[in-house]
Structure 1
Amino acid sequence: MQTRRTELAVRRRVCGLSQESLAAVLEVDRTTVARWEAGISAPLPWVRPKLAEALGVTADELSDLLDEIPASAPDSRTEVGTGMSGSGLIATAAPWALDRGPTLVESTAGDPAFDRRDFLVLSAGTAVGIAHDWLAVDPTLAVAGGEAPAAVLADAPQIDQVEHFHRLRLALIESDNLHGARSVIPLTEQSIERIGQLRRVGIGEPTATQRMRILYAEFAAWLHQDRRAWERAQHWTDRALTWSHQLGDDYSIAAILIRKAHIANDHGDGNEAVELAEAAGRAAPPGTRLGAVAAAFAGHGAALAGNRATSERAFDRARDLAEDADTDPSYGFFLDQSYIDVHQAHGRVALGDHRVAADQFGQAISGMRSGFTRDQAVYAARQAVAYAKAGEVEPAAQLGRTAMEVGVSTGSERILTHVRALHGIFDPGTAQTEVAAFRDAGKRWAVLAS
């Protein structure tokens, strides 16, 4: 059963606020405030600082006001808060977090070190099922692109469109993690168009819908990045950056520039990555973890450009910034020693420090939390390349085959690109058992040329 947040409503009245006046302060709909107090949903984390200020309470006191709903209540939905990477949701602006990659994945409110599987384990089929059920019960979405959507949407004021897209995005993020980008891309891009349609007809609070559109665009860029579809990834980061500038939101601007730097690194353009990462660092609000992530990508980019000293300094800065940054459940919960290590190890491969890189990859992978199977496979494939370049064929082939299985399952080109590179490193004439098994698997799954 649902439990009304009586104390939340009482506190609002003590402050002399009606639901309408509080909604105006927070730039949300009145029905959203009503749903919070009814225990139907909880505030998105980017709203919480303003809500605490409006009610004259601390963040912890606000958490107490919102925690009346029993955890077992099936109808209570905390709006936890990609990656995309994204990206709880950004407490001060837009919701970001990088899928250990990055993509904007939201963290659970109050637990910045959560495992994504703890809040939602949904397959790609389930995500599509949610969308299908949504369209069946919510005609506002089904007709949003029709001849006269505004009138129909106006007939459903009880629908919180931002919450709908928030929940769908969580399912899509988990589907991507479990099954890969291919099946998630169409619904993600369709959702961006739907959100745009809602904005054009004036449905929903404009700032909140714009932030959600930025989230989806960054996530779409991440999906195309995983597929190594560079033009489409660039398209969506460009759109997300434009929309972030329209909001004047430095947090979102920094996060999108970081995504662009990550894409540049994956594309092998170290100089471009450094410039983008440095721009992200300048845009990042003080005290956030954005600066630390930007420094890590600058370090990787510098290594790709062959600048060892600059790379080392950037990674040192990333660690310092990560240690000094405020707790930020909205962005950077994934940022730990392992995250920085994998990017430094990848840079060390580019610098020719193959054995050191292989060891660093191994330490980082062993330190990763569970639930990131595809990302672990990406790093394992890179570790395999490092081993092969160091002349250690057997562990390279073993790791490569394991990573290949995940790459085939998810369609991740971030994995398969390194698997093919590994194949090119091996001596064609070797009869080593593990290499033969690696090649047989690659031919069976049509990953490697015959």
Structure 2
Amino acid sequence: MGLAERRKALGYSQEELAQLLGVDRTTVGRWENGRVYPQPPQRRGLAAVLEVSLEELDSLLGPLRGSARETGGNQSSEPPNAGDPDEMIRRAFLRILSVSGALTVLPVDEAEALAEGVRGGVPADFARMNSHLWQVYQLSRSKEAVYPVVRDQLATLNDALTGHHGSPRPLLNAAADLFQLAGEVAFDGNRYADAAASYALAASVSKDAQAYDLWACALVRHAYVDMSERRYRQAAQMLDAAERLAGRGDRNLSTRHWVSSVQAEAYAALGDLEACERAMDRAETVRDLTADSVNGGWLRFDGARLAEERGSRYVRLGRLGLAEEALERALAQTALAPGQSYRRRGAVLTDLAAIGAKRRDAEQVVAYGKEAISLARASGSGYVGRRLRGLCDEFGPLSRDHRVGELRAEIATLGTP
């Protein structure tokens, strides 16, 4: 039996299945005809809707058409992801990496000879545009909406790199900055492989530019991918490297404080209360920095989220009283802040629902959970959806309560934008 047969056996049309998973009908069609595989978060939702295990889902999906297994080793004339915008942006990333790597090893006069002039902008223009894009990303309800603009900026940067006069370092910084933004968009959409690739490219270019703060921030973001897939020890190792790099960076920036805050999250997941609290205390010293210590782009850590971050760590560690106090304070802050991120408020609500689950308080779970679902749908945030799916693991005996059961069913319908 294939995927289409299983769908039909359960009485779903392609449109109905797509609606349940939050994807387009054509995406379901591509899964069924073997052109692409579902992304990891989509696979979990698809398996739940089709009432099969992940292993059974693999057998339903079968091999991709055009793969070596189906063609006897011959490459298909039309790759499964031909024309896929994500594949196009990956190729552009690799092109920038290749060109920037060449520029860093060539003498300045030879680098200048690569082209006749700068086409599409100067380094200062890229820094300003990237900073603007980060602001748009931060304020956008739907993070995916920023993606087309990132692609346009990437194309312009490609042109500038091949025609740049002088030191390549400012453009390398701009490329590393842009890679991190593209990674954030992919991460919010649960496209972990794309996010990890973008962060790895950002780290590589930052290394070439000897930009230690950019480099450390790329590793922090990469650690978030590991934590999202519950590889906490690997995340802690990545963050240790980021801590060493941040120590070589600009002491006027908040890089090292952000590293400490994320280290606290990894330690909490590993159950190490002492290390978690030490890391949070280090993060708190960000308040000692001046107001211009945050660049507003790839480094946005200013301590404004410390209450919710501390609360989230305490939830993970089972310190519910301390967690609730911090999260309620954070919830009030997110209600008052202008242009506040749906993603940020949704995460706080999910943590408060998790406290209710640990206390076996179905009313608290449902009240906070439903509001978080509403924000996830309004914003299309894969991040909030992912947090809500993690909440389901906390339900335990509460799953027998029909209200919690209905909440679980609503969470299952949250798909990847």
Shorter-chain TM band: 0.5 to 0.7
Change (3 A) 1:399 1:160: same
Structure 1 distance, partners of 2:382, 2:153, is: 24
Change (3 A) 1:322 1:240: same
Structure 2 distance, partners of 1:225, 1:245, is: 22
Q: Specify which of 393, 397, 401 is matched with residue 430 of structure 1.
A: 401
Establish whether residue 395 from structure 1 lines up as the match of residue 364 from structure 2: yes
Q: Which residue number corresponds to residue 346 of structure 1?
A: 312
Question: What are the equivalent positions in structure 2 for 1:301-312 lying under 5 Å apart?
Answer: 301-312=266-277
Report if the CA contact (8 A) 1:345-1:360 is conserved.
yes
Q: Which residue number corresponds to residue 415 of structure 1?
A: 384
* DSSP 3-state at the match of 1:330: coil
Establish whether residue 370 from structure 1 lines up as the match of residue 334 from structure 2: no
**Alignment RMSD (CA, Å):** 3.2
Q: Which residue number corresponds to residue 298 of structure 1?
A: 263
Report if the CA contact (8 A) 2:137-2:146 is conserved.
yes
Q: Specify which of 164, 174, 179 is matched with residue 217 of structure 1.
A: 179
Change (3 A) 1:399 1:185: same
**1:362 aligned partner, one-letter code:** E
CA offset at residue 251 of structure 1? Answer: 1.9
Deviation by residue 1:295-350 (Cα, 9 ceiling, x = unmatched): 1111111111121111111111221x3133344142666422x5223223222222
Structure 1 distance, partners of 2:227, 2:307, is: 15
Q: Which residue number corresponds to residue 447 of structure 1?
A: 414
* DSSP 3-state at the match of 2:140: helix
Structure 1 distance, partners of 2:268, 2:207, is: 30
Report if the CA contact (8 A) 2:141-2:379 is conserved.
yes
CA offset at residue 275 of structure 1? Answer: 2.3
Structure 1 distance, partners of 2:208, 2:117, is: 29
Change (3 A) 1:355 1:167: same
Report if the CA contact (8 A) 1:265-1:297 is conserved.
no
**1:272 aligned partner, one-letter code:** Q
Q: Which residue number corresponds to residue 360 of structure 1?
A: 326
Structure possessing the higher relative contact order (Cα contacts under 8 Å, 6 or more residues apart):
2
User: TM-score when scaled to structure 2?
Assistant: 0.61
Deviation by residue 1:403-442 (Cα, 9 ceiling, x = unmatched): 111211222121112223434544343245xx47746855
Change (3 A) 1:447 1:194: same
Establish whether residue 289 from structure 1 lines up as the match of residue 254 from structure 2: yes
User: TM-score when scaled to structure 1?
Assistant: 0.57
Report if the CA contact (8 A) 1:384-1:397 is conserved.
yes
Structure 1 distance, partners of 2:195, 2:119, is: 35
**Structure 1: which 5+ residue stretches go unaligned?**
1-149
Change (3 A) 1:421 1:291: closer
Q: Which residue number corresponds to residue 325 of structure 1?
A: 289
Structure 2 distance, partners of 1:156, 1:308, is: 53
Structure 2 distance, partners of 1:156, 1:237, is: 26
CA offset at residue 272 of structure 1? Answer: 2.3
* DSSP 3-state at the match of 1:179: coil
Structure 1 distance, partners of 2:252, 2:133, is: 30
Deviation by residue 1:177-213 (Cα, 9 ceiling, x = unmatched): 4232333334424532431232023268633222211
Runs of 4+ displaced beyond 4 Å: 153-162, 331-334, 423-426, 435-443
Change (3 A) 1:405 1:255: same
**1:375 aligned partner, one-letter code:** R
Structure 2 distance, partners of 1:280, 1:379, is: 26
Q: State the identity %.
A: 16
**Structure 2: which 5+ residue stretches go unaligned?**
1-111
CA offset at residue 240 of structure 1? Answer: 0.6
